Chain A
Amino acid sequence: MGGALLAVAALLASGPLLGDYDRSILVQGMLFAVAAVTVDILWGYTGVLSYAQSVFFGLGAYGLAIYSVEFGFSWTGAVIAIVLSAVAACVVALLLGLLSFHSKADWLYVATVTFAATFAFEKVILAGGSLTGSSSGLSGFVLQPVGIADGYRLSGLLLIAVTLGACLLVRSDAGRVMRAIRENEGRSQYLGIRVHRVKILLFAVAACVAAIAGSLYATTQNVVAPDLGGFQLGTAMVIWAAVGGRGTLLGPVGAAIGINHLNAYLSGSIPFLWQLVLGLVFVLVVTYAPGGAASLIGFPIRWLQSKLRVPGGSMPGGLLTVVPHMKAHEASARTTRPLLEVTDVSRSFGSFHAVKAVALAADGGEIVSIVGPNGAGKSTFMRCISDGGYRTSGSVRVAGSDIGRLTPDVISRLGVGQKFQTASVFASLSVFECLSVATRARRPSIWRRTSQLEIPAPAFEIIQMTGLDRLLHHTVSGLSHGQKQSLELAMVMCTEPRVILLDEPTAGLSQTERAAIGAVLRKIATDHLALLILVEHDLDFVQEISSRVLVLHHGELLMDGTVSEVVSSELVQEIYTGSPAGME
């Protein structure tokens, strides 16, 4: 990474050696590269495919041009114009972000909305009359033109600053959160990460940066045209990121500069053929080499690194340690209300009632198991507690406060943690990174990277028992199924929940792991006074650890009693053996 920055610096220093023509194209290329970095931050690292970075670039360019035309050009004026257009881009991004990032919109919606935004930008500029210069654009508005050498230095400095900032960001704790969102948005949300807020914020900042690059473009080129904010440039930015290698920062930078340079040379002689070749390369990269050029170049480098690394030598990323934090668990103030109150909760899918008027009141320290045959509504019931928008009717209170229609991230912050049925983790992150993302005692730094993590005692016990503490550097996708299950449980425990929902926590675990997990769960309930709610098929395990058992059948609560009451109940035996007596 440092070497690549050197390359950019060298490019800057070599400026005087290059001809004017090359330098003027490079100025353009470097400003486009800044926009490509914002695409990479959004798409490569956070998984938000935005075609609208050209809109913000265009807003910056037109902002400066229009301001200069209307109020006369001066360098103070230019600074004011840059600030104003960055603010305008920020506002537009916030509006687009509020439209695009909410619980019911998926990535496809974002891609389409941003695509439509580029189209709208061009239409609005074309309809702008003399203010925007319509189809011919505006030119000659900078009265003291920037020399090529100054323009070269200015855009080079911006590119270096933005790339450096982006490097720091993606390697920081906040960068880990961004990658976690890309890998598994649902899990991030249920860990209490306010995913939509993070995305809107990033989108707004990216828009600001792109607008500044756009303003510099207008200053150095002294001409703006509607296609600066149009779909062609917008999609080209995505193409640069894809061809260069998404999620590598330098790949998109190199691709933006390189493709723009080739473009300048080839579009004169073979304009359409060149575009055709670019399209072909793009399709080939997406289909056959999704990692882009960076992965093709990076492959031999990584191979060399792996050959050269001294066995037993230093690990990549330095020494990582995880310790339990010593903070005594504050005994939650005893209230008269139970910790969890579920009143007549139902969930229907059309005319099918998955959960019918189930009620439950339980307190800290209890371990409540929910049993019942497949399709009884157990997992659906859990989701009614952890996602306020899911139940059809009824109410849920956690520690006295009504969850209303709150989203999972907010409910997680109320102290509800959920482990899903199939292990849901962040595949491309390391074990340490997963734990670090889940621990949110402090707001993650946007430039520092933690290498020593304090996690709550129960989480520490889980990773110690399952040997994950020796695998902190390992990428999660390479772990066994049981290890992923334990890691997810540890991640949930990192959020220090008071109500813990566990959907088949022992599935895929060995007999010893199962016993160990059982011991940890009991300890969480007794020592930390947490409420545990389990969905479990292993009835031996249920008998062993539960203080109370609920029986669900066809969405209805059939029994709520102690382990021995339920085990001796004829009703339960009938359900499990399928005997029709007494049943509908």
Chain B
Amino acid sequence: MVGLLLDCLTTSALLFLVTVGLLIIFGMMRIINFAHGAFITVGAYSSVVAGQYGLSPWLTLILGPLAAGAIGAIAEPLVLRRLYGRQLDTILATWGLALIITQLVTLKFGRGTQPVDSIDLGTVTVLGTPYSSYRLAVIPLVLVLSIAILLILRRTRYGLVGRAVIMDDDLAQTLGVNVKRVRFTSFVLGSAIAGLAGAVLVPMSSVDPNLGLPWLINAFLISLLVGVSTTALAFASLALGSAQVLVGLSFNSVSATLAIPVLAVVLLRLRAHGFVRG
């Protein structure tokens, strides 16, 4: 029972982590980033690179976001900046970007699954149930990250300007806000968080070029449900993450992987606002 509860919590935390980068980019830029999954993959492959150079697997938590953020910083001015206001084309272009990144990864590392040295924290006993310490550690990591994001949005100049851009980017621009810079920062930040998510996923998933894809689909449907609200995202992650764990327990693993897409699609049909009040 305790194990099940912890499974629900950790799965939800991972969902939050994977989706929050997408949310920042969508909120700030109205851009639907289909390359999000590829950024997650890049973050995960940082562990392969770390292994090749004999670095500590802990460093991937920094290398992953750096690598993904750097790719985001290259892609934004080259592709995305030219597509503002053409939402449908951004879906296509970011998907193209995802193809390019995935192929580059495949060219460098091959198509197969990579053996990696991952962080191993052993197990810890929670109320009599042994549980993976690493999975547990994801919960405080996500809490810290979400508090940091909230603080940045509520307390800093970037957050204030960013919220102005969310509400009305045209007005913000006429008021002298450098919307271009806000968008660039947001895209790099969102990409870096995707990279972090990828690095965090390594000990729990096999590392291959399509690692990010199932996460992309889940993240996407959840972000449709929650709009740009991080609080709604927390609720949605908790609800859908728990649902996934419970479905996996009662049926098989295939229905577990399909649980989130199917639930999200049905929820969206019944209630277009999803978890957002209004």
Contact = CB atoms under 8 A, between A and B. Distances in A.
Contacts of B258: 120, 123-124
Contact of A126 (B91, B224, B254): B254
B93 A283 contact: yes
Q: Main SS of the interface on chain B? A: helix
B149 to A, nearest CB: 23
A109 interface: yes
B174 to A, nearest CB: 19
B82 A287 contact: yes
Nearest to B261: A116
19 contacts: A49-B88, A105-B268, A112-B221, A113-B265, A116-B220, A119-B213, A119-B217, A120-B258, A231-B213, A235-B95, A242-B92, A272-B103, A272-B107, A273-B103, A276-B104, A279-B96, A280-B96, A283-B100, A350-B278
Given A126-B254, A276-B100, 11 more contacts: A49-B91, A104-B272, A105-B268, A107-B88, A120-B261, A275-B99, A275-B103, A276-B103, A279-B103, A286-B92, A288-B82
B61 to A, nearest CB: 28
B106 A272 contact: yes
Interface in B13-71: 32
B75 to A, nearest CB: 9
Of B86, B104, B107, chain A has the most CB atoms within 10 Å of the CB of B107
Nearest to A113: B265
Given A124-B254, A242-B92, A105 B103 contact: no
A108 B32 contact: yes
A280 B268 contact: no
Interface string A268-293: 00001101101110110011101000
B272 A123 contact: no
Q: Main SS of the interface on chain A? A: helix
A116 B265 contact: yes
A109 B224 contact: yes
A512 to B, nearest CB: 35
A99 B265 contact: yes
A464 to B, nearest CB: 37
A460 interface: no
A515 interface: no
A187 to B, nearest CB: 18
Contacts of A287: 79, 82-83, 89, 93
Interface string A225-255: 0000001000100110010000000000000
B179 interface: no
Contact of A108 (B87, B99, B252): B87
Contact of B272 (A105, A111, A113, A286): A105
Contacts of B79: 283, 287
Contacts of A217: none
Contacts of B278: 350
Contacts of A111: 91
Interface string A192-236: 000000000000000000000000000000000000000100010
B228 interface: no
Interface in A33-55: 49
A361 interface: no
A286 B93 contact: yes
A123 B107 contact: no
A112 to B, nearest CB: 5
Contact of A283 (B87, B91, B97, B254): B97
Interface in B118-143: none
B269 interface: yes
Of B79, B83, B265, chain A has the most CB atoms within 10 Å of the CB of B265
Contacts of B3: none
B106 A115 contact: no
A239 B97 CA distance: 12
B93 A116 contact: no
A282 B32 contact: no
A283 B96 contact: yes
Nearest to B254: A127
A325 interface: no
A102 interface: yes
A223 B217 CA distance: 28
Nearest to A275: B103
B112 interface: no
B214 interface: yes
Nearest to A102: B269
A130 to B, nearest CB: 16
Given A112-B221, A123-B258, A127-B254, A286 B96 contact: yes
B273 to A, nearest CB: 8
Contacts of A49: 88, 91
Interface of A: 49, 99, 102, 104-105, 107-109, 111-113, 115-116, 119-120, 123-124, 126-127, 231, 235, 238-239, 242, 272-273, 275-276, 278-280, 282-283, 286-288, 290, 350
Contacts of B221: 112, 116
B89 A286 contact: yes
A278 B224 CA distance: 29
Contacts of A290: 86, 89
Contacts of B86: 290
A497 B168 CA distance: 37
Contacts of A99: 265-266, 269
Of A99, A107, A113, A272, chain B has the most CB atoms within 10 Å of the CB of A272
A350 B277 CA distance: 10
Given A119-B214, A273-B107, A238 B87 contact: no
Interface in B230-278: 252, 254, 257-258, 261-262, 265-266, 268-269, 272, 278
Of A102, A111, A287, chain B has the most CB atoms within 10 Å of the CB of A287
B99 A282 contact: yes
B37 to A, nearest CB: 10
Contacts of B89: 286-287, 290
Nearest to A103: B272
Of B88, B89, B111, B213, chain A has the most CB atoms within 10 Å of the CB of B88
A282 B272 contact: no
B81 to A, nearest CB: 10
A115 B88 contact: no
Nearest to B271: A104
A112 B224 contact: yes
B87 A123 contact: no
B148 to A, nearest CB: 28
Contacts of B106: 272, 275
Contact of A276 (B82, B87, B92, B107): B107
A475 B220 CA distance: 38
Contact of A280 (B92, B100, B224, B261): B100
A282 B92 contact: yes
Nearest to B269: A99
A116 B220 CA distance: 9
B67 to A, nearest CB: 18
Contacts of A288: 82
A119 B92 contact: no
Contacts of B217: 112, 115-116, 119
Contacts of B93: 283, 286-287
Contacts of A272: 103, 106-107, 111
A303 to B, nearest CB: 25
Contacts of B272: 104-105
A12 to B, nearest CB: 32
A129 to B, nearest CB: 11
Nearest to A128: B254
A282 B92 CA distance: 8
Contacts of B91: 49, 108, 111
A291 B213 CA distance: 28
